[in-house]
A and B are shown apart, each in its own frame.
Chain A
Amino acid sequence: MSMQSDMSQSVIGADAVKRSGGRGKVVLSEGKKAERKLGLMLIAPAAIVMVAVTGWPIIYSVWLSLQRFDLRFPEKQAFVGLENYGTVLSNGYWWTAFGVTSLITVVSVVFELVLGMGLALIMHRTLVGRGLVRTVALIPYGIVTVVAAFSWRYAWTDGTGYLASLFGQDQALLTQRVPALAIIILAEVWKTVPFMALLLMAGLALVPEDLLKAAAMDGANGWQRFTKVMIPVMKPAILVALLFRTLDAFRIFDNIFILTSGAQNTSSVSMQTYNNLIKGLNLGIGATMAVLIFITVAIIAFVFVKLFGTAAPGSDQEGRR
């Protein structure tokens, strides 16, 4: 609702500007031409860098994925068609990693949404120490993921850690699959809840205070005000936050690398790609995995945009500009 009225406002604003501009100057076409030229010149460097560094490599990656290309045996390089895709897609490790990545993504995004909403409400509505809470909450967002991951790793290391002893002696939780995955999710959630909360807080700021007061007058309790008033207004912000976090969680790498190095089948698809490429030096397989991840992420983004239609960030962006 608010998004739409906002859009129409900005469109009206733009019209007004155009009209007043037209009245002010007679030689409009000259100015328009200069404006177009300046606009293109200003975006050119950014556009070129972004397209050159992502567009060309992803095309190159598709080409590499059709080759047998192992850097240890470069003389055996040959075009093999879709053979690499067959190899990867029939490989148990790939599907395990895919399952692990999906599990981590879904579980951590759900936790992040719930905790992020809580943190957003605290940051937005607290009566005391608002500055303090907002400042402190930024620390997990800002801290280097690797640093946080080491902190969690040592916390769960037997003997060294303050958390490990809570679960009994010599459990070596990081070497057991299920606890290790739980710790990976914990580390991921801890780091990204504040980011989620900030995105949601932007949505909270859009909720009109009058509406909440009116709902309270009509006898709505706190929970009803939250679900019936806040959530609908915040929906666009929630969807943006969910989309970005889902895509981001699917790329998980740092936390797993530090916490378990992918041992006990805790690898993510990003870890698998890295291992095949940097450790295995198998460019063909690495590129195949890169392409598969790219396709998966594209599908997730597409599903989000299709499911949520105009509320998705892409269409939002276009509507606003």
Chain B
Amino acid sequence: MAGLGGTETLGRKSRWAILDLVVVVYALVPVLWIMSLSFKTTKTLTDGNFIPREWTLDNYKAIFQTSEFVRALGNSIGIAIISTVIAVVLGTMAAYAVARLDFPGKKALVGVSLLVAMFPQVSLVSPLFEIERSVGLFNTWPGLILPYITFALPLSIYTLSAFFREIPWELEKAAKMDGATPAQAFRKVIAPLAAPGVFTTAILVFILCWNDFLFAISLTSTSASRTVPAALSFFTGASQFEDPTGSISAAAVVITVPIIVFVLLFQRRIVAGLTSGAVKG
């Protein structure tokens, strides 16, 4: 954007730079703080300094030696990846149908997705707790994957159908003219064009699953399926005689790393995905 009238004076630029700086401080201070805590030694942990006076990796070494954290990390990664793959595959199929095909029941699907997107998750906790206990899904991976897929589906259907509408129609028609069935047109033509949108959606869905706390803490009871956010809250209760601040901070930083990496690498796509899914969807 060339600005209004193209008069980009130094003064205006520096005013924007100050505003930018405010945003950077706003966004980073809580993150830097938890990082700082994770690098502090036991002695300096409670000195209230924003920057550690003594640096150490002990907190990280300690958590990776506990099976509690290592298993939780494995659970988090496994459950989030499986949920993401399933939600994105099912979402891609549905979004393709919504964006490209004419069939009865389309409005119903969109309506159901909207309802699920607005659904208060806590209302599911009580019945799911009882249902999963009776069918043996309680405290298992599938027991968490199932609600995660459910709540990720509206997100992936909206985001993907917004992306799919941007794909040029003509190519699909051309493929059909050349004798491709609708299913072939989907696999051979649309799927490769849709890959960036699918990838973006996968990131958003992964963040959603990675972030969950309510289901993770309600539908698990041991480290067999407890994810890191849930395990973190038990670090506190478990060690009454030892201050868990350092280990909680280190674990918190570990699960923040993938998010930071995604954000740094795919900022444009995440912004595009969130805005298209939210308003155009």
Residues of A whose CB lies within 8 Å of any CB of B are 17-18, 24, 32, 34-40, 42-43, 45-47, 49-51, 53-54, 56-58, 60-61, 64, 119, 122, 125-129, 131-148, 150-152, 154-155, 159-162, 164-165, 190, 194-195, 198-199, 201-203, 205, 209, 212-213, 216, 236-237, 240-241, 244, 247, 250-251, 253-254, 257-258, 269-270, 273-274, 277-278, 283, 286-287, 289-291, 293-294, 297, 301, 313-314, 317-318, 320-321
Instruction: Pick from A138, A145, A150: contact of B249, CB below 8 A.
Output: A150
29 contacts between A and B (CB under 8 A): A17-B169, A24-B177, A43-B106, A46-B90, A47-B94, A51-B112, A53-B124, A54-B116, A61-B127, A64-B126, A125-B16, A129-B17, A131-B267, A132-B24, A134-B268, A142-B259, A142-B262, A146-B229, A150-B232, A161-B48, A165-B48, A190-B26, A190-B30, A202-B275, A209-B1, A274-B217, A277-B129, A286-B125, A317-B111
Contact with A along B117-140 (1 / 0, CB 8 A): 111111111111111000000000
A-B contact count (CB 8 A): 327
Q: Given the complex of chains A and B, what is the CA–CA distance between A142 and B26 in angstroms?
A: 14
Interface residue stretch chosen among B57-65, B149-157, B192-200 = B149-157
With contacts A60-B127, A136-B28, A293-B123 taken as known, whether A45 is within 8 angstroms of B98 at the C-beta atoms is no
Cα separation A64 to B262 with both chains bound (whole Å): 42
Residues 88-129 of B at the A interface (beta carbon under 8 Å): 90-91, 93-94, 96-98, 101-129
Contact between A36 and B34, CB atoms less than 8 A apart: no
Cβ of B228 to closest chain A Cβ, rounded Å: 8
A297 touching B31, Cβ below 8 Å: no
Q: Which B residues touch A61, using CB under 8 A? A: 123-124, 126-127
| Min distance, Cβ B245 to any Cβ of chain A, angstroms | 6
The complex places the Cα of A40 from the Cα of B281 at a distance, in Å, of 20
Interface contact A142-B126, CB-CB below 8 Å: no
Say yes or no: is B19 at the interface (Cβ < 8 Å to chain A). Answer: yes
CB < 8 Å: which of B5, B31, B125 contacts A274?
Answer: B125
Are A119 and B103 interface neighbours, CB within 8 A?
A: no
Does the CB pair B127–A293 fall under 8 Å?
Answer: no
Is the Cβ of A151 less than 8 Å from the Cβ of B33? yes
Contact A277 B17 (CB under 8 A): no
Residues from chain B with a CB closer than 8 A to the CB of A147 are 34, 229, 232, 252, 255-256
**Would you call B260 and A139 a contact (CB within 8 A)?**
yes
- Nearest first, the 7 A-B pairs at minimum CB distance are A39-B103, A57-B127, A202-B275, A42-B97, A53-B150, A39-B101, A46-B94
B101 and chain A: residue at smallest CB distance? A39
Note all chain B residues with C-beta closer than 8 A to A216. 4
* B127 contacts A290, C-beta separation under 8 Å: yes
A129 touches B20 (CB 8 A): yes
B264 at interface by CB-CB < 8 Å: yes
The distance from the CB of B98 to the nearest CB of chain A, in whole angstroms, is 7
Q: Report the minimal beta-carbon distance from B258 to chain A, rounded to whole angstroms.
A: 9
The dominant DSSP class at the A interface is helix
Residue B50 at the chain A interface, CB threshold 8 Å: yes
**In the assembled complex, B238 has its CB within 8 A of some CB on chain A:** no
Distance A291 CA – B119 CA, assembled complex (angstroms): 11
Minimum CB–CB distance for B120 against chain A, Å:
5
A39, B106: Cβ atoms closer than 8 Å: yes
Evaluate contact between B96 and A42: CB separation under 8 angstroms.
Answer: yes
Cα separation A50 to B153 with both chains bound (whole Å): 8
Residues A38 and B16 in contact, CB atoms below 8 Å apart: no
A287 is contacted by which of B126, B150, B207 (Cβ under 8 Å)?
A: B126
Kindly list chain B residues whose C-beta atoms are within 8 Å of the C-beta of A56: 131
Q: Which partner residue on chain A sits nearest B253 by CB separation?
A: A147
Once the chains bind, are A136 and B27 in contact (CB under 8 Å)?
yes
- Residues on B with beta carbons closer than 8 Å to the beta carbon of A133: 20, 23-24
Bound-complex Cα distance A212 to B250 (A): 48
Please tell me if B175 contacts chain A, counting CB pairs below 8 Å.
Answer: no
CB of A136 within 8 A of CB of B24, answer: yes
